[in-house]
Structure 1
Amino acid sequence: MSLRFIPPAAALAVAMAVLLPAPGTAHAADFTVRSVEVPELKGVFGEVKSRTVVPARARIGGTVRSVTVSEGDSVREGDEIALVVDDKNALNLNAADAKLKELQSQLDNAKLELDRAQQLLARGAASQARLDTAKTQFDVATNQLTASEADRAVILQRAREGAVLAPADGRVLTVPVTPGSVVLAGDEIARVASGPYSLRLSLPERHAASIREGGTVRIGERGISQDKAGTPATARPGRIVKVYPEISAGRVMADVEVDGLGSYFVNERTLVWVEIGRRSVLAVPAALIRTQHGIDYVTLATAGGPLDVPVILGERFAGDDGERVEILTGLKDGDVISAAGR
């Protein structure tokens, strides 16, 4: 049996045909473009709100003697935040003390008369009627003294109610009075945001049927600019806890629950992305896109070999295998992107 000589160039071609895949065949790391459904997000501004804002009110009328808190201070329920003084309370207290001394003297005298009447009745020198009269006078004096002590206690309680107490734990938002201000009973001395805090959203009426309690939203970083807030792919999740049933001025309101709002200012705005529907898009992993001279390209695996195709990018979002980028134009469903070309 004779051996046929094979030229080196032909042998190399045969080896490459065996080892290399046929043109247009997808590699194991290649990506096949498929249409996927993604949430359609609408960017709106949410305002940080305290679910309850409780006013601390004056319980008596008078002059504000002192204010111990300022805007931004944290308070505990029952803390004294201001003191209201009514100068008439001191005068009424002096009058009540003088009245008590007078009634105490009358009571002492009635007690002496009662004792004397009892002694005289025992010796037969006085009648039962005199004893009854003395006993009645003693009882009247005792009751008057008790009533006067109760009146004095009311004056003391009114003076103690000059202390304005924090109605709940929270943060002081406003203090509209200063020492020396004259206030009436029921006037607002301070406003306390007792929380918990949530984001209040205001959406156009056309999206009212698209949002629901329990739905997920994306909250950007602190700030009202796009540069500071980031993108939906990097935003943290939040949950819609309440959708208000009343539409006002063409807007529907909703509250979003998210951790970490306690450090925000009340009424501070931040960017929020709300899901208002779903749409089909072509999306590819961000790692398969390269930018050259300001133009974005992907490399397709075609029958004729790798082909660089310019694309126009859309939104970025988080996929199962990392960040993905929406392709607006340049690709179609079923295209194979070559990872080797990247």
Structure 2
Amino acid sequence: MIRKNIPVFALLAFGLAGVFHAAHAAAGEFAVKSTAIPEMKAVFGQVQSRTVVPARARRGGTVRQVDVTEGSEVRQGQIIATVVDEKIALELDAAEARIQELLSQLANARTELERAEQLFARGVVSQGRVDQARTQFDVATNQLAAAEANKAVIEQQAREGEVLAPATGRVLTVPVTPGSVVLPGETIARIATGQYYLRLSLPERHAAQIREGSTVRLGQRGLRGSAMVETELEGRIAKVYPEIADGRVIADVEVAELGDYFVNERTLVWIPVGSRDVLSVPPEAVTTRHGIDYVSLLTADGPIEIAVILGERFVHADAERIEILSGLRAGDKVLLP
């Protein structure tokens, strides 16, 4: 009876061995090697605007109305406030009255000139009388033109009471209120224009490692985030200033999607300040059981599982990798599922 069951157990053992061998034959291999990755330092960056321009009053007077508040979006040429001067209305009335007076004088001079020309044609008056009437008509015409030009100047002064936005952007501050008395050139509002960027201030010891064109990562807004996995945006170091002040080096970072940030808002930034060599494997090579991480290592005696200590995740050559702090060395071959 036992002799009859021996072939069955032998066949079963042979089949299990074949399955085990086929599984490892189908598994991939990954050669562990040292990889240089950037060493990132977490700092706080402050959002700045490329330019902040003031919208100024073009003439003095009293602020009648303010059409914007802090945070308003404005377009170039948009009216943001109105400054009035009560004397302007009186000057316009006086200019209009002067024009009406000169119109009457011009009409009278035209009549005198026509009468003198008729009398000269009949030989009643001399040529000198006609020339005198023509001169009076020309003087009245020129005086009317001067009065109309003076009225245009006063009307332009009235229009200059409209404070216009010098550029498209966001209003930062409005230091005046309706009823305030302002002088010519006084600031009515400050407008942030141009693209936003990040201003970084780093310790002097990192000055030699900062390079223009390096990629930086931004954390979540609200000063949250203490790990690289919480980054949201990427930027590029656009400029490193050559002067070090108070032991700090200043750098500017360009980020494409900073339009909804507040000016002077701080956010967490990771910036490369060097590089380090690490051992890494693909994330799928790691399995976790009971809180311990394992990888399958291919040895001369066959595959074995060893415990490893993991570091941070990163991307190398467009592939995700996970750092191995302990358990592997360069040249090991790891089995992939």
TM-score band by shorter chain is 0.7 to 0.9
1:82 aligns with 2:74: no
Alignment of 1:1-342 (within 5 A): 15=14, 19=18, 28-29=27-28, 31-227=30-226, 230-231=227-228, 235-289=232-286, 298=295, 300=297, 311-320=308-317, 323-337=320-334
Deviation, structure 1 residue 324: 2.8
1 CA distance for matches of 2:231 and 2:336?
25
For residue 100 of structure 1, report the CA deviation from its aligned partner: 1.5
> Structure 1 stretches of 5 or more lacking a match?
none
Q: CA deviation at 1:70?
A: 1.2
User: Residue 216 of structure 2 contacts residue 269 of structure 2 at CA under 8 Å; is this kept in 1?
Assistant: yes
Count of residues in Structure 1 that have an aligned counterpart in Structure 2 = 331
Alpha carbons of structure 1 residues 248 and 112: separation in structure 2 relative to 1, 3 Å? farther
Distance in structure 2 (CA, Å) of the matches to 1:12 and 1:233? 54
CA distance in 1, matches of 2:232, 2:122: 101
Q: Give the distance between the partners of 1:217 and 1:232, measured in 2 at CA.
A: 13
For normalisation by structure 1, the TM-score amounts to 0.81
Shift of 1:318: 2.2
Question: Per-residue displacement from partner, 1:255-305 (whole Å, max 9, x unpaired)?
Answer: 333332212222222222222222211223344445667665556555677
Q: Distance in 1 between matches of 2:78 and 2:270?
A: 40
Deviation at 1:138, TM superposition (A): 1.7
TM-score by length of 2: 0.82
Report deviation, 1:89.
0.4
Q: How big is the shift at 1:47?
A: 2.2
Q: 1:116 corresponds to which letter in structure 2?
A: R
Q: Percent identity?
A: 62
> Please, which runs of 5 or more residues in structure 2 have no aligned partner?
none
131-140 vs 55-64, which moves further: 131-140
Please say which of residues 256-265 and 315-324 is displaced more in the overlay: 315-324
Q: CA RMSD in A?
A: 3.4
Instruction: Measure, in 2, the Cα distance between the counterparts of 1:265 and 1:88.
Output: 41
Between the aligned partners of 1:318 and 1:233, the Cα distance in structure 2 is 15
Point out the more displaced range, 201-210 or 116-125. Answer: 201-210
Distance in 2, matches of 1:186 and 1:297, equals: 72
Preserved contact between residue 26 and residue 301 of structure 1 (Cα < 8 Å): no
Cα pair 1:26 1:338 within 8 Å, conserved: no
Decide whether aligned partners of structure 1 residues 328 and 157 sit closer, same or farther in structure 2, where only a CA change above 3 A counts.
Answer: same
